[in-house]
């Protein structure tokens, strides 16, 4: 191919051509050899660079006391191109040891719920309000939530999901700055920075009370219906 092109260029030069048009097949060859980066590729690359920087910032963070007892930072996991972000409260023991959110008993239940509604864990994004584990799994303190929230806000801004699903009252309260019961918040569509947000039970609550499984199933159906409506709206503005 290179030899053919050299011959072609020599021929055209000898013919006195200063601007040399490339034959179609050569243009196709060069396009194949040097494909332009698609917007999606560039977007994913810049998302992953921004997230890496944010993780590094969180690793160095000393804005609250929790860094002192951390084994591993639990920043978040999943696809940066996800349409859904699930947000829990704080890492537990297993999460602190591995650096992966929702992998203890509650995480295994979340995996089952995701599987039941045909969502794959690797295709969604999962994070918590706090990036470090509160000792003995105590409730997050309000000042810890305030200190850590900017990381989650940036995560959401980078990923730009179509919908946010808060798992439990703590994450809903931290993001929406409201203090309602689960009963009051379920089945409604809130808005966080223009992104629709719905609230359901934290999987740990389901482990304590199996009766919450049915309403959680309803909430996930509501989540998927809402996501479908958002997709339709985006396709037919
Ligand atoms: S929990 Fe959040 S704010 Fe506190 S030290 Fe860890 S990263 Fe920083």
> Which pLDDT score, from 0 to 100, does residue 16 have?
44
Residue 14 Cα, ligand 1 centroid: separation in angstroms? 69
Ligand 1 binding site (Cβ under 6 Å of any ligand atom): 58, 61-64, 66-67, 130-132, 144, 147-148
Q: E strands of the chain, at which residues?
A: 77-78, 84-88, 125-128, 163-167, 190-192, 195-200
Mean pLDDT per 10-residue interval, the chain, length 237 residues? 52 47 44 51 86 97 98 98 98 97 96 96 97 95 97 97 97 96 97 97 97 97 98 86
pLDDT at 194: 96
Q: If residue 158 lies in a helix (H) or strand (E), which one and from where to where?
A: helix 142-159
Beta bridge mates, 199: 166
122 Cα to the center of ligand 1, angstroms:
25
Q: What is the pLDDT of residue 174?
A: 96
Structure-block tokens of residue 30: 């060069």
CATH numeric code, 42-235: 3.40.470.10
Token pair listed for 226: 């809402």
Mutate which of 132, 134, 170 for ligand 1 pocket (most atoms within 8 A of beta carbon):
132
* CA angle centred on 227, ends 104 and 107, rounded to 5°: 0
Whole-number Å distance, alpha carbon 59 to ligand 1 midpoint, is: 8
- Burial grade of 168 (CB within 10 A; 0-12, 13-18, 19 or more): buried
In angstroms, what CA-CA distances link 229 with 156, 181, 235? 20, 26, 10
């Amino acid at each position: 191919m290179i030899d053919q092109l050299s011959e072609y260029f020599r021929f055209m030069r000898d013919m006195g051509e200063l601007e040399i048009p490339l034959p179609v097949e050569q243009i196709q060859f060069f396009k194949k050899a040097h494909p332009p980066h698609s917007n999606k590729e560039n977007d994913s690359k810049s998302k992953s660079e921004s997230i890496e920087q944010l993780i590094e910032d969180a690793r160095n963070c000393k804005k609250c006391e929790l860094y002192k007892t951390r084994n591993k930072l639990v920043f978040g996991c999943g696809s940066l191109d996800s349409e859904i972000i699930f947000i829990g409260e704080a890492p537990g023991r297993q999460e602190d040891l591995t650096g992966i959110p929702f992998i203890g008993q509650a995480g295994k239940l979340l995996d089952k719920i995701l599987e039941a509604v045909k969502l794959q864990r690797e295709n969604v994004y999962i994070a918590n309000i706090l990036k470090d584990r509160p000792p003995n799994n105590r409730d997050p303190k309000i000042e810890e939530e305030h200190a850590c929230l900017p990381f989650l806000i940036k995560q959401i801004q980078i990923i730009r999901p179509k919908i946010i699903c808060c798992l439990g009252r703590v994450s809903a309260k931290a993001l929406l700055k409201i203090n309602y019961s689960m009963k009051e918040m379920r089945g409604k569509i809130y808005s966080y920075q223009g992104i629709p947000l719905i609230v359901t039970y934290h999987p740990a609550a389901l482990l304590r009370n199996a009766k919450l499984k049915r309403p959680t199933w309803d909430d996930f159906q509501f989540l998927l219906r809402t996501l479908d409506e958002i997709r339709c709206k985006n396709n037919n503005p």
